[in-house]
Amino acid sequence: MSRRQFGSVRRLSSGRWQARYPGPNGAQMTAPTTFATKALAGAFLASVETDMRRGTWFDPTAGTAISLGEYAATWLTQRTVKGRPLAPRTLDTYRHSLEAWIVPTLGNRSLGDVGPADVRRWHQFVLAQTGPTAARQAYALLRAIFNTAVSDDLVPRNPCRIRGAGQPNTPERPLVDLDVVMALVDAMPEHLKAFTIVAFWGHARLGELLGLRVGDFDVAKGTLRIERQVIEVDGEGPRITAPKVGSIRTVHLPAPAVDALAAHLEKRGETRPDAPLFTQPGGTELRAHHVHARWKTARTRVGHPDLHFHDLRHAGLTLSAQSGATVAEVMRRAGHVSTQAAMRYQHAAEERDAEIAVLMASRATR
């Protein structure tokens, strides 16, 4: 065994060379691989010494002491988004992805033992076993877990490197014009007409509408305060939570929505501020499946069987952009925290502006 200034190398009985060096704590560490020549082993030691001096050295054994399954379980209990715990529905989705797709195939592997090729094989397996949505969710979760492992200095790089695999590929939703919106409102039952109008003019999500209270509506100011949502949790039923991060907001409603809500409350005769703003006809709890059932009937009746209830929000936000709202203003009305989502509606406004230019030219010709 030949001695060096930093570390040592020796020739093994196989003819290959082994490199050893002192770790930061003084313990002797062995290179993760052997080398074909003494020079290559020496070059490895030189690179380790340089990295230690620069403070960029990574302990190759760090990720071998814990399995992916163990780390993921701890990660799930500690995960926050902008300082807030995971939403119950998000937590359910993560648990399902872990239990169904990640732990059974990769859970027993140590963090440091999972490489890019392993992730590619795993991703192809998941795609073959389930749909693209579940595969996307599982991949995005695995990537997030490894991002944290990189921050914890357990692995040097994230092995999840499949471009676009964790990004949703949502097709562009159809744009619903005002005539169709009003036809849909007319087709909904009486107790859901104002509900449907607010979804369009107030850009509220379904869960946010279900979470509204009488006191959230200020008829004098024409505003609606959105600060909670109702979500359905598997095995538990409805649960009231805060809305999505950055979605607490006060929305100024256009006159049609103010009038509809005022008439809705006058008909109900409800004045308690903490009472639900929308209920079933008998006053019982209104839940998402009630709305979906009525919506399915209404959209079929007006000849648009593929419309989603969420398309009302999309249409209302597009109208706000077409009315001249800036990206920041659309974000505030929608409760968006990123400009990427708001830019979808700005893009629609630009397309409409092009159509208007064509119409102006044709009218001038006539």
Q: What angle do CA 194, 247, 293 make, to 5 degrees?
A: 40
In the numeric block, the tokens 């693209």 are attached to: 132
Q: Which of 157, 161, 239, 310 is catalytic?
A: 310
Give 105-166 as a DSSP string: HHTTSBGGG--HHHHHHHHHHHHHHS-HHHHHHHHHHHHHHHHHHHHTTSSSS-S---TTTT
Q: Is 139 a catalytic residue?
A: no
Cα torsion 263, 267, 272, 276: sign: negative
Alpha helices (runs of H) in 152-242, residue ranges in sequence order? 178-187, 193-201, 206-210
Q: Is 345 a catalytic residue?
A: yes
CA distance 332 to 81: 20
CB-based burial label for 329 (10 Å; 0-12, 13-18, 19+): middle
Q: Which of 205, 228, 249, 264 is catalytic?
A: 205
In the numeric block, the tokens 């936000």 are attached to: 317
CA distance 52 to 26: 13
Token pair listed for 244: 């999505």
Q: Compute CA distances 68 → 91, 118, 137, 165, whole Å.
A: 18, 13, 17, 20
Q: Which of 313, 314, 333, 344 is catalytic?
A: 313
Q: Is 363 a catalytic residue?
A: no
Q: Are 143 and 166 in contact (CB under 8 A)?
A: yes
Q: Which of 294, 299, 336, 344 is catalytic?
A: 336
Can you tell me whether residue 317 is helix, strand or coil? helix
Residues 6+ apart with CB under 8 A from 160: 116, 119, 139, 142, 143, 146, 166
Token pair listed for 188: 């909904």
Q: Is 347 a catalytic residue?
A: no
* Polymer length in residues for the chain: 366
Q: Is 310 a catalytic residue?
A: yes
The helix or strand, by DSSP H or E, that contains position 333, with its residue range, turns out to be helix 327-334
Token pair listed for 226: 């959105």
User: Catalytic amino acids?
Assistant: 205, 310, 313, 336, 345
